[in-house]
Amino acid sequence: MIIDRTSYLQKIDFQFSMHSVCCLLGPRQVGKTTLAKQYARNIPKAAFFDLENPLDLARLENPMLTLSAIDSDLIVIDEIQRRAELFPILRVLVDEKPRKFLLLGSASRDLIAQSSETLAGRVGYIEVMPLSLTETQTGYEPLWLRGGFPRSFFALKQDESYAWRQEYITTFMERDIPSLGFHIPPLHMRRLWMMLAHNHGNLLNLSDIGKSLGITHPTVRKYTDILVGTFMVRLLEPWFENTSKRLVKAPKIYIRDSGILHALLGLPGKNDLLVYPRLGASWEGFALEEIIKSLNARNEECFFWAVQSGAELDLLVIKDNKKIGFEFKYTDSPSLTKSMSIALSDLRLDMLYVIHPQKGSFLLQEKIQVIGLEEFVEQKKGRS
């Protein structure tokens, strides 16, 4: 089934209005190739290269000769992280002749460092994420349980969805990470990933994790950074302001896709999730990702806030000169807490939203509004 992801197609057009190169970055199997093909339908002449295809790899043995000879208005190169040495060649080609290159990669620009260094001023980036509430329009429960990877979400049966996610995790560790040039024993990465899943929504303590796994603090950081750079994990950094209060300085850790989280935790179905002791943490991470998507917020615009005395805020988004706070509560009757009032005052928030899974919206006090996740996302969609 093809989901209408028109917003991404519009973003590609926007980037090409400014740059010769557009790079779609996101996890493997998230739908980047489908998007590229949809975009290319309106291009008179387009050429495709898939760097996982041995035939296409052979065609690019002499990339300068091959790419310069192609008479196309658009050249698509999939899985670009496998041949990062192509970036300097692309710089020469786009400077010699006006043409568009659409690059697809399964790692962040930090892990594909050459792109930002050699194509500075010539490339625009778009992060393509798993399906969101605005795209599925099925209510939050199926998306929360299965996650947003299309093959997981659209599986005919729940056990098929769960099996796909388990296989995805194995393939990611055994094939995807080595393809980026990292030689990490898959068992070590699996153990770390599972431990991060059990700490989902908590502060990241590298020393404690290292001791539990029998690896060094720097090694834990290296492995975690790889998971962040491949869009599997979110490190939510703390927000600092000049205040007399002692602030929490460690980042919080989240598994970005809720379906992958549930697979790592061994929660195959809805009943398993509902009796999971940290159900609220799973909801928090899912709702947090949906809010960030709905606001089209960049990673550097998203924070959490906490003081060592106990007051905290799950998500702080600083965007368009506004400070918007979010608390995530898996309950049908959220109530005002002292922590909310402190966060509203200390951070001088423009608004604080308490996001819950049910329908309905009401004010707890001025600038503190309780609102259902689906209702909030729908409102933002209507204003975009």
Arithmetic mean of pLDDT, 174-195 = 90
Q: Is the pLDDT of residue 309 over 80?
A: no
Would you say residue 130 has pLDDT above 80?
Answer: yes
Of 337 and 309, the structure prediction assigns the larger pLDDT to 337
Q: How confident is the model over 82-104, as a mean pLDDT? A: 88
Residue 244 has pLDDT above 80, yes or no: no
Task: Give the global pTM.
Answer: 0.94
Number of domains in the chain: 2
Q: How much is the average pLDDT of 173-180?
A: 89
Instruction: List the structure tokens of 365.
Output: 């006090």
- Asked whether residue 384 carries a pLDDT value surpassing 60, the answer given is no
Average pLDDT for 359-378: 94
Three-class SS of the chain? CCCCCHHHHHHHHHHHCCCCEEEEECCCCCCHHHHHHHHHCCCCCEEEEECCCHHHHHHCCCHHHHHHHCCCCEEEEECHHHHCCHHHHHHHHHHHCCCEEEEEECCCCCCCHHHHHHCCCCEEEEECCCCCHHHHCCCHHHHHHHCCCHHHHCCCCHHHHHHHHHHHHHHHHHHHHHHCCCCCCHHHHHHHHHHHHHCCCCECCHHHHHHHHCCCHHHHHHHHHHHHHCCCEEEECECCCCCCCCECCCCEEEECCHHHHHHHHCCCCHHHHHCCCCHHHHHHHHHHHHHHHHHCCCHHHEEEEEECCCCEEEEEEEECCEEEEEEECCCCCCCCCHHHHHHHHHCCCCEEEEEECCCCEEEEECCEEEEEHHHHHHHHHHHC
- Within this chain, do residues 117 and 139 fall inside the same structural domain, yes or no? no
Residue (of 249, 272, 246) closest to 259 by Cα position: 272
pLDDT of 357 strictly over 80: yes
Dihedral angle, C-alpha 75, 77, 83, 84, nearest 10 °: 70
* The pLDDT value given to residue 181: 83
Pull the structure tokens for residue 203.
Answer: 């502060």
- The CATH number that applies at residue 115 is 3.40.50.300
262 falls within a domain: yes
- Provide the pLDDT for residue 329: 96
| pLDDT above 70 coverage of the chain, percent | 97
Structural domain contains residue 282: yes
Range of the domain at 41: 6-127
Residue 114 in this model has a pLDDT that exceeds 70: no
Does residue 214 sit within a domain?
yes
1 in any annotated domain: no
Q: Round the average pLDDT of the chain to a whole number and report it.
A: 92
Same structural domain for residues 275 and 361?
Answer: yes
The residue that leads in pLDDT, 180 or 282, is 282
Residue 314 belongs to some domain of the structure: yes
Does pLDDT of 74 surpass 90?
yes
Residue 183 in this model has a pLDDT that exceeds 60: yes
Residue that has been written with the tokens 């670009």 in this structure? 80
203 and 104 belong to one structural domain: no
The better pLDDT of the pair 109, 282 is held by 282
Using a pLDDT cut of 90, give the percent of the chain over it. Answer: 72
Residue 240 binned pLDDT confidence (cut-offs 50, 70, 90): confident
Do 34 and 62 belong together in one domain? Answer: yes
Q: How far apart are the first and last CA of the chain?
A: 25
Q: Which of 102, 127, 152 represents a domain boundary (last residue)? A: 127
Residue ending a domain, choose from 90, 107, 127: 127
**Are residue 184 and residue 319 in the same domain, yes or no?**
yes
- Picking from 82, 112, 127, the residue at the C-terminal end of a domain is 127
**Binning pLDDT at 50, 70 and 90, where does residue 30 land?**
very high
Instruction: Looking at the structure, tell me whether residues 376 and 244 fall in a common domain.
Output: yes
Contacting residues for 253 by C-beta, under 8 A, at least 6 apart: 196, 199, 200, 201, 202, 203, 204, 224, 233, 234, 235, 236
Tell me the backbone φ, ψ of residue 333, rounded to 5 degrees.
-145, 70
Same domain as 307, residue 163? yes
Residue 57 domain flag: yes
pLDDT digits (tens, 9 = 90+) for 344-354: 999 999 999 99
Comparing C-alpha atoms, which of 48, 51, 28 is closest to residue 37?
48
Whether residue 69 is found in the same domain as residue 213: no
Shared-domain flag, residues 112 and 146: no
Q: Tell me, yes or no, whether 186 and 118 share the same domain.
A: no
- Verify that 166 and 104 share a domain, yes or no: no
Q: Give domain status of residue 89, yes or no.
A: yes
In the predicted model, what is the mean pLDDT of residues 23-42?
93
Q: Say what the pLDDT of residue 267 is.
A: 97
Tell whether 346 is covered by a domain.
yes
Strands of the sheet with 361-365, listed across from one edge: 302-306, 312-319, 322-328, 351-356, 368-372, 361-365
Q: What is the rounded average pLDDT of the residues 145-173?
A: 96
> Is residue 151 located within the same domain as residue 183?
yes
Gap between the Cα atoms of 101 and 94, Å rounded = 8
Vertex 316 angle, CA 311 and 257, to 5°: 105
**Cα separation, 239 vs 243, whole angstroms:** 11
